[in-house]
Amino acid sequence: MNRLRLRGLVRKEFLQILRDPSAIAIAFVLPVFLLLLFGYGVSLDAHHVPLAVVVDQPTAQTSDFIGSLQQSGYFEPRYSPSFKVARDALMERRVSGIIWLRSDFSREMLAGKTAPVAAWLDGVDANNANIVQGYLLGAWQNWLQLQADEAGYALSIPVRVQSRIWFNPALRSRDFLVPGLIAVIMTLIGALLTALVVAREWERGTMEALMASPVTMGEILLGKLVPYFLLGMGGMLLSVAMAVWLFAVPLVGSFWLLLACSALFLLVALGMGLLISTLAKNQFVAAQVAVIVTFLPAFILSGFIFDIHSMPAVVQFLTHVVAARYYVAILQTLFLAGDVWPVVLGNSVALVLMATIFFAIARRKSRKRLD
């Protein structure tokens, strides 16, 4: 390893980054773009869900019930003259569900029987329907309790669930999406950018000139690694800053630990990028491969949005080779739970292992020859 040669390569790479807007765009503009898009565009928290309410015989009890739905903040009840009208509204997507209080609602209730509250939900968006159903259940139980309190009788519910939500008590989906997104962004910067810039050297014939000079293959690889490592860390800091200050995601764990783990993951991503670049020597193919084998898995198989436990066994097994999986776990923990060492250490070991393997293969595969 020759300091002079390495310095020359690193300086060249930085000059290229500075003068080529596309590298800057991928490292800094893309993170901002994605964070804004996800931060504002993606939310699993339903609020003001429009509900059509059909009341056959309005009474004090029915308006009391509807009022409690409104007060929960999750619903926006709209009175509908008949069930048929309500159903049409649902079909046209003007409402997400229907509440039907039949004519015997008050009578049954006052007679001490169990009055039925019929609810229909649009099940097309199953996840949303599930969440809305949960809200509805909660609102209903609150109302029951209120009724009991007002009437002064004890509500006879055999078992009552008392839930305590750790780490994200308000269950804000943004708080878990934004940290996870950092993993996706870092994958893009690390793997895609590295694969592209190496492929560019092949395409333009500069790799041939480099190889014919006394520089060693290790120096060429390291000369790529150092600049894009720094660039990636820059993109990471930008993302964290946006997460904390713009989206108000709490950073409970230590910043330095976050920095260290991010550095480790970035190494893995860079290793993947270098490995891709040894196989794909033009930018078009490199971009395709990078998106398919790094970006997509980081998006879907990392636990960033979709829960890994719920996947089929085969797919779960596959997620073990997705580096972003380990990093997403670390990120969500450090941001929301704090420095939980078992999580951080266990996943870091996996990352170290993957980094070692990727670099070993990349080093073996890249020979200082053209064939």
Site pattern 199..218 for other proteins (x: CB under 8 A): -----xxx-xxxxxxxxx--
HSE-CB at 75 with a 13 A cutoff on CA atoms is 31
Given the rule CB under 8 A, which of 113-121, 237-245, 254-262, 263-271 is the region that contacts other proteins?
A: 113-121
For residue 1, state whether it binds other proteins (rule: CB under 8 A).
no
Closest to 234 in 3D by CA, of 10, 20, 26: 26
Contacts of 36 (CB under 8 A, 6+ apart): none
- The nearest distance, CB 50 to other proteins, in angstroms, is 8
Q: Give the interface size with other proteins as a residue count (CB under 8 A).
A: 130
- The nearest distance, CB 371 to other proteins, in angstroms, is 6
**Measured distance CA(314)–CA(194) in Å, rounded:** 30
For residue 121, state whether it binds other proteins (rule: CB under 8 A).
yes
Q: For residue 172, is it left (φ>0), alpha (ψ between -120 and 50) or beta?
A: beta
Range 134-193, binding other proteins (CB under 8 A) = 134, 136-138, 140, 143-144, 147, 155-169, 171-173, 175-176
Range 6-35, binding other proteins (CB under 8 A) = 7-9, 11-12, 15-16, 19-20, 22, 25, 33-34
Nearer to other proteins, 81 or 112 (CB): 112
Q: Which two tokens stand for residue 135?
A: 């809200």
∠ Cα 278 182 39 (to 5°): 135
Nearer to other proteins, 17 or 236 (CB): 17
Range 287-326, binding other proteins (CB under 8 A) = 287-288, 291-292, 296-297, 300-301, 303, 305-307, 309-312, 315
- The nearest distance, CB 229 to other proteins, in angstroms, is 20
Contacts of 173 (CB under 8 A, 6+ apart): 42, 43, 44, 45
Site pattern 41..70 for other proteins (x: CB under 8 A): xxxxxxxxxx--------------x-----
Range 233-262, binding other proteins (CB under 8 A) = none
Q: Which two tokens stand for residue 80?
A: 């509908």
Q: Exposed, middle or buried: residue 148 (CB in 10 Å: 0-12, 13-18, 19+)?
A: middle
